Structure 1
Amino acid sequence: MDRKIYKKKPSACNCLNLRRASQSITQVYDEFLEPSGLKISQYSLLKHIKYMGPVSVSDLALKIRLDRTTLVRNLKSMEERGFIIDISANGARNRQLKLTDAGLETFEKAEQRWSEAQDYIEHYLGKDYMETLTVLLSKIEALVP
């Protein structure tokens, strides 16, 4: 992936700077994952369901720290594409999500592309900056208990 380095003037607003950075990082992952047909948010869901599954929607929401409403909306398209299924008993109150064979195959195809995105970002930022960024992001996330 070829990108030109531009010096963009940051905003005085920390929130806007973080949102812009988030949009940029999402775009990088989405571009790498494009051949798989997944967006980074979808890849992340498949990955978590694979390693946690079968998993309830509530447990998945807690693990990925996403509100249930947003999660359910994202899961719907994954179910429609045949990547995940609910294996809970009929009438059960808690859904139990699991990858289908198609979901597992799609995840495995996307995994290499995700790894390439990871490597690209680490190379672009440098290992030291990447470690600093990870610490700072964790500290920012801890602002809200």
Structure 2
Amino acid sequence: MTRPLSYDECNCFALRQAARHVTQIYERHLGGVGLTAAQFTILAKLARTPNLPMADLADAMVMERTTLVRAMKPLQRDGLVVAESAEHDGRTFLFSLTEQGEKTFDQAAVAWRAAQEEFEKKFGQARAKTLRAELFSITG
């Protein structure tokens, strides 16, 4: 007989629980700007890398393309992100921030910094840095 599952031994459960907790902190701060944490990360990526093809953006976000398309719709609807056909291939769309998207990102960056400071105050700056490095090593 298989022994019962113990959640305190499950890496996936621990990571998802921690992710939900941390996401709540960031979304509390970002909510004042009207963004979710996921939307903020998309805007941040596009702020650093404009004219990004959907496939590259999905890879960078570690998201399925269909999930990314659903996440992009409100950003496009609200005029924060624009998709334009690539010159070399009309089926490839390149995503960039609009002028309004850049303004919203700048406002959201202030809220993000506040969330970052709150998390690091609770968790510890050095521990947070170590945690980020460990987590990035999983996906990098």
Matching residue's letter, 2:35: L
Deviation at 1:140, TM superposition (A): 4.0
Per-residue deviation, 1:98: 1.4
Of residues 93, 107, 126, the one that matches 1:109 is 107
- Alpha-carbon shift at residue 33 of structure 1 (Å): 0.7
Identity of counterpart residues, as a percentage? Answer: 32
C-alpha distance in 1, partners of 2:99/2:128? 35
CA pair 102-25 structure 1, distance change in 2 beyond 3 A: same
- Give matches, 1:1-145, under 5 Å: 11-88=8-85, 92-141=90-139
Post-superposition offset of 1:12:
3.3
Residues 78-135 of structure 1, C-alpha deviation per residue, up to 9 Å, x if partnerless?
1111111112269811001111121111111111010111111111111222133123
Distance across 2 between alignment mates of 1:55 and 1:140: 24
Shift of 1:64: 2.1
Q: In structure 1, list runs of 5 or more residues that go unmatched.
A: 1-9
* Cα pair 2:86 2:92 within 8 Å, conserved: no
SS in 1 for 2:96: strand
State the Cα deviation string for residues 30-63 of structure 1 (Å, max 9, x = none): 0011110011111111111122111111111122
* Count, aligned residues: 133
Sort the Cα spacing of 1:139 and 1:80 in 2 relative to 1 into closer, same or farther, 3 A: same
| TM superposition shift of 1:65 | 2.0
- State the 1:72 CA deviation: 1.1
Q: Could you tell me which amino acid in structure 1 is paired with residue 81 of structure 2?
A: I
Question: What secondary structure sits across from 2:8 in the alignment?
Answer: coil
When structure 1 is superposed on structure 2, of 21-30 and 54-63 the one drifting more is 54-63
Asked if 1 retains the 8 angstrom alpha-carbon contact of 2:82 and 2:98, the reply is: yes
Given the superposition, is the C-alpha separation of residues 138 and 108 from structure 1 closer, same or farther in structure 2, using an over 3 Å criterion? Answer: closer
Give yes or no for contact 2:26–2:37 (8 Å, CA) kept in 1.
Answer: yes
Letter in 2 for 1:15: C
Q: Which runs of 4+ in 1 moved over 2 A?
A: 10-14, 138-142
Per the TM alignment, residue 70 of structure 1 is displaced from its structure 2 partner at its CA by: 1.0
TM-score (normalizing by structure 2):
0.85
